Amino acid sequence: MLEGTSTTQNALVVHGLVKHYGDVAALDGMSFRAEAGELLAVIGPNGGGKSTLLSILAGVIRPDEGEFEVHSGEVGWVPQHAALYRRLTVEENLRLFARLEGHGNPEAVVSRMLDLAGLRERRGEMVLKLSGGNQQRINIAIGLLAEPAVLLLDEPSVGLDPRQRARLWEFVLKLAGEGTTVIFATHDIQEAEQYGRRMLVIADGQKLFNGTPEELRQSVATQAPDVAGRDFESVFVDYLAMRGY
């Protein structure tokens, strides 16, 4: 049985994903599951394979080996850098992608997304004039246009100030609360601990850990008894060191 399995319905099942770039294995037999409405944080050192994993799940690149299955519905993808046309307005960006998604009534979808992103008042502004936080909200809104069962977020809070970050996570938590499975890759360990119900630690394309933040802390505590009073980031660094990273 794969790790992460529970009695609730699996929204995503990943099995044996392998991806090589030349001689370098970006992913080397990656397997895991994610439940409906779950928030799964993907963390690990730079170049460990987080973005490659999300890109494969998003269908942007193809794996050399392995497969994954989405139980029902679409996969929404929000790339690390906002994938928006900066010289189009907020509304025009949403309308374009709604049309490309094949929505029968794109105007209704656009209207809903403007409300969801809280940008109705700024719908006529060109994206290049918006802050990074607002751009990221549109970026996520476009990722949600297909009403996906699984939403992939690649470094969603990079470049955002604390207030924007808080609003972003409020938005994401609301989605998860409505049943969307959210898988997010991040370098911010505190953020992963705070919002991730479960963590997938990846290094050198291999899965090192799959469990809750508390389980990771306990795993480190077996070799470092003083872990209880320390912040999660230093615990995570210890964990990586224990695994040779």
Partner 1 sequence: MRWLLLKDIQVLRRSPMQATLLILYPIVIALLVGFAISRDAGLPRVAFLNEVPKDTRVDLGGEKFDSLDARARLCKRVECVDVSSREEAIAKVKSGDVLGALILPSDLAQRVNSLASLNPTRPQVEVIVNQEDPVKARLVNDRISTLLSEANLVIARRVAKNGGEYLTLIRDGGELSFLGQSFNVLGLKSSATILESVRKSVPAGAQRGAIDQVIQFARLATENLDLASPLLETIAQPIEVKKQVVNEATPTLDSFAIAVTATVTLMFVTLLLVAGSLALEREENAFGRLTRGLVSRSALLIEKIGLGIVVGFAVTLLMLAGLQLFVSLEWSRFLLWMVAIVFGAAGFAAAGAALGAATREVRAASLLAFMVALPVVFLSLIPSGAVGPGLYHVIEFVTALFPFKPTLRAITAALDSSGPSLVGPLLHLLALITAYALLARLALRRFSVV
Residue 106 C-beta: closest distance to partner 1, Å: 9
Among 6, 8, 9, 59, binds partner 1 (CB under 8 A): 59
Among 83, 158, 176, 237, binds partner 1 (CB under 8 A): 83
Give how far the C-alpha of residue 53 lies from the chain's centroid of Cα atoms, to the nearest Å.
10
Window 122-181: residues binding partner 1 (CB under 8 A): 126, 142
Q: Which residue has the tokens 């929404």?
A: 76
* Contact call for residues 242 and 223 (beta carbons, < 8 A): yes
Among 2, 100, 166, 173, binds partner 1 (CB under 8 A): 100
Q: Which residue has the tokens 């990273």?
A: 245
Of 50-58, 167-175, 177-185, 218-226, which segment contacts partner 1 by CB under 8 A? 50-58
How many Cα atoms sit within 13 Å of 96 on the Cβ side?
13
Of 6-14, 82-90, 168-176, 186-194, which segment contacts partner 1 by CB under 8 A? 82-90
Residue 107 C-beta: closest distance to partner 1, Å: 14
Question: Does 186 engage in binding with partner 1 (CB under 8 A)?
Answer: no
* Contact set with partner 1 (CB under 8 A): 51-52, 55, 58-61, 77, 79, 81-88, 92, 96-97, 99-101, 126, 142
